[in-house]
Amino acid sequence: MTALPTSSTPHTSRGVRHRPPRRSAVPLLAQLVIWAGAAGVLALWWSDTNAVVGPAGWLTGAGRITGLLAGYACAVLLALMARVPLLDHTVGTDRLARWHAMGGRCTISLALAHTLLIIWGYSLSSHTGVVGQTTTLVLHYPDLLKGTVGFVLFLATGILSARAARRRMSYEAWHYLHFATYLAVFLTFGHQLANGADFVTNHLAQTAWYTLFLSVAALLAWFRFAVPVRRGLRHRLRVAAVRPEGPGVVSVHLTGEYLDELGGEAGQFLRWRFLARGLWWTANPYSLSAPPHPRHLRITVKTAGGHSAALARLAPGTRVWAEGPYGGFTASRRTAHQTLLLAGGVGITPLRTLFETLPGQVTLIYRARRADDLVLRGEIDTIAARRRAPVHYIVDEPAGHSSPLTARALTDLVPDLAAHDVYLCGPPGMAEAAFRALREAGVPARRIHHESFAF
């Protein structure tokens, strides 16, 4: 690695104490609510079960439990991805996505266990073979054929969401594949109410189940569909200009009305739907690369696929619908008085806004492959000079003296690193290596703030 000349001067606010914002209790409360709901589901099974007798009873009882938990988990998965601002801004989009991914694996496992246990338990009770019992259940029980189709859709989505499959799939294809889960939930919901022993005669349980799923459906309809349409009509965003920033990187400048009502913060992103040929059907996430302004916004995008490449050809005047702002990668995560911003490549975009707006002592380390890939460098140097903040540029090429992404290299640049909050944004490989190096350098995990759009 080669260390380029830095913009490094003493910080004017050194020694001045800044009160960091309080950490939100919402992430912990959200987890408590989720686990409390799961406990309520188990209580429903317990209250409706008089006794469990013999192998068939145990298998059927386990099948009922896993089925109830799988149904409840479906509602939780949809709620996590409903883009509710309170959750998105406090928990963080990438953290919600990780919860969703982990919950998806659990849901599919529970649904698979439910299917196998119920078939096995029923076959023991009726003294029939597993294949014959499966045929009887699917073809002769009310709504079970629809439930089977829903389960197959869930299973297919899970397989195609595996990391190996995602690497061969575009973001747009992966995103729209997940709309199949809405159909899967609808199909399995009817099956549970029609066949579930805990619902058939329990009207209170039916009412609670309807309330849960209708509430989640209302959240999805409002935040994922109604709000974007309303904001698109209200803010009338348009492309003002597209300007090159470096090899394969452009900035898209947008104008609109009442943009202060969006409530965006430095570090956040929006999902942008450009109403141009080939782009209107998908909304992709891009971070703001300049602090939000009441009359204009800016994003800076590196070509990484068909959608991002097409942005360089946008014509001024193109209408834009923006969903958001989203993400908790903001000043509210700061817990210490000193902050390190660690960027890799085009990951500089949210960090450039934070570099301009974060209070206190701020240091920026910006890594890229070549000097030409250090986009927005002129703006960064201007901000550094104005706030008298140190900046370290590090590139791979041309070869020079080494500056690897290790704990020792980072502490050489930032001697009191362990006392800093760290905002980290860059390609997945770089982010993983940086996280390990930061932990080795003594930075607590709770002070390493990272948000990723990786899918």
Query: pLDDT tens digit string along 105-141?
Result: 899 999 999 999 989 988 988 888 888 888 888 877 8
Does residue 128 share a domain with residue 276?
no
Among residues 164, 193, 226, which one ends one of the domains?
Answer: 226
Ranked by mean pLDDT, the top range of 202-206, 225-229, 337-341, 403-407 is 337-341
DSSP state letter for 367: E
Q: CB of 286 within 8 A of CB of 299?
A: yes
Instruction: Print the domain residue range for 95.
Output: 26-226
Helices and strands counted in the chain (H then E):
16, 12
Does residue 67 share a domain with residue 193?
yes
Does residue 210 share a domain with residue 101?
yes
Q: CB of 119 within 8 A of CB of 130?
A: yes
Is the per-residue pLDDT at 12 higher than 90? no
Q: What is the pLDDT of residue 450?
A: 87
Does residue 311 share a domain with residue 424?
no
Q: What is the pLDDT of residue 39?
A: 95
Does residue 173 share a domain with residue 78?
yes
Does residue 182 share a domain with residue 290?
no
Query: pLDDT tens digit string along 160-210?
Result: 777 666 666 666 666 677 777 888 888 888 888 877 777 878 889 899 999
3-state secondary structure 63-86: HHHHHHHHHHHHHHHHHHCCCCHH
The three-point CA angle 49-141-150 to 5° equals 90
Pair of tokens at residue 54: 């013999």
Does residue 38 share a domain with residue 16?
no
Q: What is the pLDDT of residue 3?
A: 52
Query: pLDDT tens digit string along 14-37?
Result: 333 445 555 678 888 999 999 999
- End-to-end C-alpha distance for the chain, whole angstroms: 29
Token match 């008085």: residue? 337
Does residue 220 share a domain with residue 80?
yes
Number of domain units in the chain? 3
Q: What is the pLDDT of residue 455?
A: 47
Among residues 326, 347, 373, which one ends one of the domains?
Answer: 326
CATH number of the domain that residue 311 is part of: 2.40.30.10
Q: CB of 360 within 8 A of CB of 13?
A: yes
Does residue 407 share a domain with residue 292?
no
Average the pLDDT over 45-56 and give the result: 82
Does residue 31 share a domain with residue 7?
no
- Reported pTM: 0.76
Pair of tokens at residue 60: 């059927």
CB within 8 Å of 222: residues ≥ 6 apart: none
Q: How far apart are CA 118 and CA 282, in angstroms?
A: 40
Among residues 226, 250, 276, which one ends one of the domains?
Answer: 226
User: Edge-to-edge strands of the sheet including 284-287?
Assistant: 284-287, 269-274, 319-326, 237-246, 249-255, 296-302
